[in-house]
Structure 1
Amino acid sequence: MDLVTVALASLLAGFIDAVVGGGGLILVPALFSVYPQATPATLFGTNKGAAIWGTAWATRQYAARVTLPWHALLPAAVAALLGSFGGAWTVTLVSPEGLRKLLPLILGAVLLYTLAKKDLGREHAPRFSGRSEMLLASLIGGVIGFYDGFFGPGTGSFFVFLFVRLLGFDFLHASASAKLLNTATNAAALLLFTMKGHLWWHIAAVMAVTNVIGSLLGTRMALARGTGFVRGMFVLVVGALILKTSYDAFLR
């Protein structure tokens, strides 16, 4: 029953992750609830061991249906991977406690801005091209990748928001682009957790299967319903992140 529970949680997480990111809101608490005696690092590693397959599959599905600027996204994915390594190394030297308390405020500002700008991300009108787009996308990848390695919550949402706000993508193209970068940061984290022995392969393998199924369903729904649906999901996920991070920072 424990395995069934986390497998179902992984399916739902894969669905949410494929649409707009934030699947960790579902899967990480489920793992901690089902396996309360486990080392946190092992649960985080097992989460990554499942989530990377869902994000990779979503990237493949989006790439087949959405035109993506690969000249910008591939260097950005490399920057995200390296940034994630750098963040993971930094967290061994510096406590992220200050960021824990600041994060709900940052997410609140993102949510308010999105709600205030009714047309934000509804039209796909890239502001840059060529080298400029590649450099800005790589900057986003490196900075948010570092954040993911250092702390983590809301990484997918930050990728989506910045692609919309800075690069001029609509929410569908931004979510599709974010999947590639999220796959890179997940790969960096997974490598680190594996090297440290913090991964339950037998559980991660089962969760990976259901995560991919959820990812397939989420990607198809996002592609079928378009930007408006992805924008709505973005608002819901960021709202949930605000509640979760506020609880962790001030009430836990």
Structure 2
Amino acid sequence: MEFEIYAYFVFFFAAFFGGFIDAIVGGGGLITLPALMAMGVPPHVALATNKLQGSFGTLTATINFAKKGMINFNEILIGIVFTFIGTCIGTYLILLLNADFLRLIIPFLLIFIFIYTLFLPKVGESDRHSRLKPKIFYSLFGLILGFYDGFFGPGAGSFWTFSMVALIGLNMKKAVAHTKALNLTSNAVSLAVFVLGGEILWFVGFLMAFGQILGAFAGSNLVVKKEVKFIRTMFLCVVFATIVKLIWDFF
């Protein structure tokens, strides 16, 4: 596909801001995917190209968080394994099944997360007692959320962050960092499927990947420096925006 010159600026800056937001609380796809489709990219090609550029942003944020000592890979290794398995299953099934029923259910789950986080202002400010053993949590939710991200996707990062805060007692900073590593796993699997399908705009994808890298680096550094209250506010904004978009798309 060929585009006007201004479209390439739109792609780059959308990727930068998408990577910035995604590194902080997830949901960068709410910026990048509409930008691709607004420039006339067909939906299936937009999804594939979005996964390519988004993978670079997730990788950048993961590396930066790891360098800052915010990711315990020994703790989440089992989660990475089960996320990989879940994403493989979900990505395969999306080729066979219709995801419309998820479009109906997911907004209600996100509304619950939004209300829970909004009315419990202390949630995620510090580490708390774990309600599940980490190995059980990462095994179970790796399968569930890996499957979800491969099958449908929107809000997967929000689900990961919320689940870690609510069920294994992580503070929101650490939960966001761990979420990036797990998202990277599901992104890599989905990207591999799209590459095999040959539906990617490579030049646009790599241009946006450069914007993603810059945005993700800036966003992940902000997570390290800012207080949890700021991250929590951003989290609520992204969850709310995801709810609105999913309901809009459904109707």
TM-score range normalised by the length of the shorter chain: over 0.9
Deviation by residue 1:167-224 (Cα, 9 ceiling, x = unmatched): 1001100000000000011100100000010111111111111101000111111111
Shift of 1:101: 1.4
Question: Is residue 2:11 matched to residue 1:10?
Answer: no
SS at match of 1:135: helix
Contact preservation (8 Å) 1:72, 1:135: no
The root-mean-square deviation of aligned C-alpha atoms, in Å, is: 1.4
Cα separation, partners in 2 of 1:14 and 1:126, compared to 1, 3 Å: farther
Amino acid at match of 2:218: L
Residue 64 (structure 1) aligns with: 67
Amino acid at match of 1:13: G
In 1, the alpha carbon distance for the partners of 2:14 and 2:101 equals 30
Residue 218 (structure 2) aligns with: 217
In 1, the alpha carbon distance for the partners of 2:70 and 2:153 equals 28
| TM-score relative to the length of structure 2 | 0.94
Question: Is residue 2:28 matched to residue 1:27?
Answer: no
Shift of 1:135: 2.7
Question: Is residue 2:204 matched to residue 1:199?
Answer: no
Shift of 1:128: 7.2
Alignment of 1:143-162 (within 5 A): 143-162=144-163
Identity, in percent, stands at 34
From 98, 101, 111, give the equivalent of 1:98: 101
Question: Is residue 2:146 matched to residue 1:123?
Answer: no
Unaligned 5+ segments in structure 1 are: none
In 2, the alpha carbon distance for the partners of 1:170 and 1:52 equals 25
In 1, the alpha carbon distance for the partners of 2:149 and 2:226 equals 29
Question: Is residue 2:53 matched to residue 1:50?
Answer: yes
In 1, the alpha carbon distance for the partners of 2:245 and 2:66 equals 31
Cα separation, partners in 2 of 1:150 and 1:122, compared to 1, 3 Å: same
In 2, the alpha carbon distance for the partners of 1:226 and 1:188 equals 33
In 1, the alpha carbon distance for the partners of 2:54 and 2:163 equals 22
Query: Matched residue pairs, number?
Result: 246
Residue 3 (structure 2) aligns with: none
In 2, the alpha carbon distance for the partners of 1:50 and 1:67 equals 24
In 1, the alpha carbon distance for the partners of 2:21 and 2:43 equals 23
In 2, the alpha carbon distance for the partners of 1:5 and 1:209 equals 13
Unaligned 5+ segments in structure 2 are: 1-5
Q: Which runs of 4+ in 1 moved over 2 A?
A: 66-69
Shift of 1:104: 1.3
| TM-score relative to the length of structure 1 | 0.94
